[in-house]
């Protein structure tokens, strides 16, 4: 095996220096990143908060807006959904800023497991679990003939991994300043939207009817698909280079209850956002107050409100 320190980076870079997946090159993305899933949410945030924003759209469906807020460079990046896209973001940005600090905040949507929190509640995750489908259970163990034992439960839950404590506390402080309610606790990222989140679809043998019970044992409050990978990779980046600071935090708005029978789950989305006016403060869009070079500037805190529109 080749020692890791002697291996060459295997990042796909186009001849003009553009990263193959993110679609940006050095100077087109900044080390302070607010990441969202929805492209229009990214556009609205950029229009509301960034000065001199430059748009970088890529055929791989990543959309980046880079600009400044009162002189501080900030990027807002739409990545779509799921663990692989978060992996592209964190790894390729880290490649561009190999010896520099990074700060990521995920602003997304989630399903709620807390009956006392209505749809529209804000969930801050200080640690994340990960649930993934155990394909050995469904497809078999290719090493069984060699006597290799592997787990055969239908789903595996890993973690937890913690987000950055300081950045998370600043999210909480900003919510309090805006007089909005939030709850902080454990979340879980799911590999898939259906099977790994306990949803039933006729015609599929997902064997997931016990997942909610497992989530309950861990006191999980919300479920989404990206934050665990963000926390995990930032932790691993810190292991790989202890001289640079890598921070990550996550805040999501609940768009559905997952446990109340009279409130069925549906794939709602924040597809319409009003930056200037809204009757109900369902969602706070903001960039957090932070204290040092690798985080965000002191006064970068603004609010806007959105309404939930079913797809």
For 213-260, the pLDDT digits (tens) are: 999 999 999 999 999 999 999 999 988 888 888 999 999 988 888 876
Q: Contacts from 287-291 at CB under 8 Å and sequence distance 24+?
A: 287/34, 287/49, 287/69, 287/74, 287/105, 288/105, 288/167, 288/170, 288/171, 288/174, 288/249, 289/170, 289/173, 289/174, 290/103, 290/166, 290/167, 290/170, 291/166
For residue 265, give the CATH number of its domain: 3.40.50.1580
- Does the pLDDT value for residue 1 go beyond 60? no
Q: Does residue 56 register a pLDDT over 90?
A: yes
Average pLDDT, the chain: 80
The arithmetic mean of pLDDT across residues 61-71, rounded, is: 90
Q: What is the DSSP string of 71-103?
A: TEEEEEEE--SSHHHHHHHHHHHHHHTTTS-EE
SS3 call for 158: strand
Let me know if residue 16 belongs to a domain: no
Prediction pTM value: 0.83
Does residue 168 lie within any of the structural domains? yes
* The pLDDT of residue 282: 27
pLDDT (tens digit per residue) in 268-291: 333 332 333 222 222 333 333 232
Residue 109 lies in a domain: yes
Give the number of other CB atoms < 10 A from CB of residue 125: 32
Domain that holds residue 302: 21-309
Domain count, the chain: 1
Q: CA 70, CA 287: separation in Å to the nearest integer?
A: 13
Q: Is residue 296 part of a domain?
A: yes
Would you say residue 245 lies in a domain? yes
- Give, in order, the Cα–Cα distances in Å from 77 to each of 22, 107, 142, 177, 310: 9, 10, 39, 26, 23
Question: How far is residue 51's CA from residue 72's CA, in Å, rounded to a whole number?
Answer: 10
Confidence of residue 120 (pLDDT cuts 50, 70, 90): confident
Q: Is the pLDDT of residue 8 over 90?
A: no
pLDDT of residue 4: 55
pLDDT at 153 over 80: yes
Cα 92 to Cα 103, 228, 301, 302: the distances in Å are 14, 17, 27, 28
C-alpha to C-alpha distance for 77 and 66, rounded to whole angstroms: 8
261 belongs to a structural domain: yes
- Looking at residue 11, what DSSP letter applies? -
Does residue 11 belong to any structural domain of this protein?
no
Residue whose C-alpha is closest to residue 102's, from 28, 164, 19: 164
**Alpha-carbon gap, residue 22 to 3, rounded angstroms:** 28
Q: Measuring CA to CA, how many Å separate 29 from each of 26, 76, 167, 301?
A: 7, 9, 21, 20
Q: Does residue 55 carry a pLDDT above 80?
A: yes
Does residue 43 belong to any structural domain of this protein? yes
């Amino acid at each position: 095996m080749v020692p890791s320190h002697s291996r060459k980076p295997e990042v796909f870079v186009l001849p003009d220096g553009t990263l193959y997946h993110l679609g940006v090159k050095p100077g087109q993305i900044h080390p302070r990143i607010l990441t969202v899933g929805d492209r229009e949410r990214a556009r609205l945030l950029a229009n509301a908060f960034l000065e001199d924003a430059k748009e970088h759209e890529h055929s791989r469906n990543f959309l980046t807006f880079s600009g400044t807020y009162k002189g501080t460079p900030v990027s807002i990046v739409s990545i779509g959904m799921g663990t692989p896209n978060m992996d592209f973001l964190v790894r390729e940005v880290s490649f561009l800023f190999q010896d520099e600090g990074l700060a990521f905040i995920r602003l997304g949507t989630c399903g709620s497991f807390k009956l006392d929190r209505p749809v529209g509640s804000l969930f801050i995750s200080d640690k994340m679990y990960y649930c993934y489908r155990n394909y050995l259970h469904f497809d078999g163990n290719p090493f069984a003939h060699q006597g290799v034992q592997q787990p055969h439960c239908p789903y595996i839950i890993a973690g937890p991994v913690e987000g950055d404590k300081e950045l998370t506390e600043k999210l909480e402080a900003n919510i309090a300043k805006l007089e909005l309610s939030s709850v902080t606790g454990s979340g879980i990222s799911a590999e898939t939207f259906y099977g790994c989140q306990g949803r039933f679809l006729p015609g599929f043998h997902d064997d997931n009817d016990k997942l909610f019970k497992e989530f309950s044992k861990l006191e999980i409050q919300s479920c989404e698909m990206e934050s665990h990978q963000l926390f995990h990779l930032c932790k691993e980046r810190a292991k790989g280079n202890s001289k640079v600071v890598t921070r990550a935090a996550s805040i999501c708005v609940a768009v559905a209850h997952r446990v109340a029978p009279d409130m069925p789950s549906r794939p709602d989305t924040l597809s319409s956002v009003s930056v200037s006016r809204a009757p109900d403060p369902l969602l706070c869009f903001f960039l957090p107050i932070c204290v040092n070079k690798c985080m965000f500037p002191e006064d970068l805190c603004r609010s806007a409100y959105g309404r939930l529109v079913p797809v």
